[in-house]
Structure 1
């Protein structure tokens, strides 16, 4: 099929316009009938151009020619920043550091494949005499301000590309209103905040909240408008069995838990702990295969315990809610009145 240059330009323009134009009501978009060249060009522009805000996540389904674009946001970052610190401490511990296998943990910079950027990625790389082995151990994705089904579709695509993955973590963050709306024209917020000659600073904006108690359960209301109000934070964790992970199957390889509004994370803690044990055992087996004479007993017998600080993550989420509210206000101010 011949692809005209103007088709590529139009499609690239649509995607870049979505990323560049301030619109707090649209933090996720799906583009249909998109050529692979568009994905490649946009990805290159994002990598090279500091003018593109944050680090958007792109996912391209080549068979369906669908491009998913997720804008950068603090709400995406908070959960996996916390998990990244835990996994990094585990993987870079003394026993694993002595192993001949290289592991890496990243959140947004490492491309898992030619067409997807996960929120969390743990990979294993090892050089043998005959080959270079690259495996994906863990994938993490966060759904915020988007349909959960689109995130599940992305996860399925990632698993299909890397069926060896040992654990998948999906975090779903919902607001009380499924679709955020900016202040309407001539609303109380519009009349108060549009009078300002310049955009309020972060501290000035939040000072307008008054004496409302700071809590995740309380909405952020400024000038009569709700800028962000968290409803729930839920975790889904899958681990691999004899076959590749299947996110459509509800069985003993899946754990669900709620972090907010009520903390019920026991099953999730146990499943992530199981996934970490699987990582340890797999890395030990690979070390033994790469260096048959090496002593891996310390690694194989090392203790693995998942010790999250969920209350700390809740505090991080509170800051992320503050950031989200202010970012929405600033985008609204930058948009045409």
Structure 2
């Protein structure tokens, strides 16, 4: 008989959740990106681990999680296509910049990461975008983070949480040379259609969501509401970017500084005004190149870094392409919201397992026994379970 791997058993993970954990899971799976950041109290470290596994295995949503081990506090951010789109072009352009730098691939290993979990003291934070730098050979004993970035909605609570997370990341990694913040504004906050509304009466006639091509049948101009069946599904009004770069003499980046030497603001949507941001990107990437130089010297005293020191930094961004990506993401977000709403109305139990499930006595005893075994086999470090660390990045192909 083949033993079951508990890490691959969805229901085993689910049954390890307490009633509070199940409520958290139900809340997460019931919400979409219009919610902003959700905050859950009283989630212990082990339950956080189980929630992580359950959400990964469900696969229908991919939230960014931030967990505070000391406060037992879980923050959940469910990004929409609106928030993902602006960083796609930036990621690709950063990859091109790094690819053209003549660094020694046998000595250092830079990587561009999307949704990287990063441990910061008692917090496990998921960064939207980051550049990490390690040596090219194991064991990996140092991790530098020259760049971090987030793209968020304009909701006040969300912005406050993200700014706090970035400040704590900077405190833990003062070597950060560049910080990017994108803020997405919607003219109308999205709400699901109400029972009895035109949208509810017309769009719930089909037992399954209609295809996107039949849901959005016309072209909507920029900054106009995607209004279908007398309901607003998405109304993007503004996408702005803020970029901070560490200057000579600075110990670390201060996100409260807004002078022109340290911070630049630009508008990507509804019209492109990104010249100041482009210049700040150039400055930041030149400093990241210098970090590559310093880290190479730190690892090896015999490697010639002259060509890297003198290398021109090229950031081949097309903000017009980024604008188009943001505009196209409006339709994608509108359809995703419709589909999520439709599925929850027609078949609400589809989003997760039966949340009213109550295990039998034998199952409860088995679960308690499993919990005890897991706890016995768990060593503690700094008041939390010691987890197997994931590598921060994979070496680039040679």
TM band (smaller chain)? 0.7 to 0.9
CA RMSD, Structure 1 to Structure 2 (Å)? 2.5
How many residues were matched structurally? 324
Moved more, 259-268 or 35-44: 35-44
1:8 CA displacement: 6.1
Q: Partners of 1:96 and 1:74 in 2: how far apart?
A: 34
Query: Which residue does 1:155 correspond to in 2?
Result: 166
Query: Which residue does 2:196 correspond to in 1?
Result: 186
SS in 2 for 1:248: coil
Alignment of 1:276-295 (within 5 A): 276-295=285-304
Q: Partners of 1:27 and 1:171 in 2: how far apart?
A: 14
Moved more, 23-32 or 74-83: 23-32
SS in 1 for 2:182: strand
2:214 is matched with which residue: 180, 204, 225? 204
Check the 8 A contact 1:220/1:226 in 2, yes or no. yes
Q: Partners of 2:309 and 2:263 in 1: how far apart?
A: 25
Check the 8 A contact 1:284/1:300 in 2, yes or no. yes
Cα distance, 1:142–1:202 mapped onto 2, change above 3 Å? same
1:199 CA displacement: 1.5
1:171 is matched with which residue: 158, 165, 182? 182
Q: Check if 1:246 corresponds to 2:235.
A: no
Check the 8 A contact 1:58/1:69 in 2, yes or no. yes
Query: Which residue does 2:28 correspond to in 1?
Result: 19
Q: Partners of 2:34 and 2:92 in 1: how far apart?
A: 31
Q: What TM-score does the superposition give when structure 1 sets the normalisation length?
A: 0.88
Q: Partners of 2:283 and 2:331 in 1: how far apart?
A: 34
Deviations 1:228-265 (A, max 9, x none): 01011011111224212121232321111111123221
SS in 1 for 2:132: strand
SS in 1 for 2:298: helix
Deviations 1:57-110 (A, max 9, x none): 0012334433110114212221111111111111122502546211011112x3
Q: Partners of 1:130 and 1:191 in 2: how far apart?
A: 60
Q: Partners of 2:334 and 2:108 in 1: how far apart?
A: 43
Q: Partners of 1:324 and 1:11 in 2: how far apart?
A: 30
Cα distance, 1:130–1:142 mapped onto 2, change above 3 Å? closer
Q: What TM-score does the superposition give when structure 2 sets the normalisation length?
A: 0.75
2:94 is matched with which residue: 75, 87, 90? 87
Alignment of 1:280-319 (within 5 A): 280-319=289-328
1:7 CA displacement: 11
Q: Partners of 2:254 and 2:43 in 1: how far apart?
A: 27
Moved more, 10-19 or 234-243: 10-19
Q: Partners of 1:254 and 1:151 in 2: how far apart?
A: 17
Cα distance, 1:33–1:285 mapped onto 2, change above 3 Å? same
1:12 CA displacement: 2.2
Q: Partners of 2:104 and 2:27 in 1: how far apart?
A: 43
Cα distance, 1:136–1:41 mapped onto 2, change above 3 Å? same
Check the 8 A contact 1:54/1:72 in 2, yes or no. no
Q: Check if 1:336 corresponds to 2:336.
A: no
Q: Which stretches in structure 2 are left out of the alignment for 5+ residues?
A: 1-14, 347-398
Deviations 1:264-295 (A, max 9, x none): 21111111111100010111122123222222
Q: Check if 1:117 corresponds to 2:126.
A: yes
Bigger radius of gyration, 1 or 2? 2
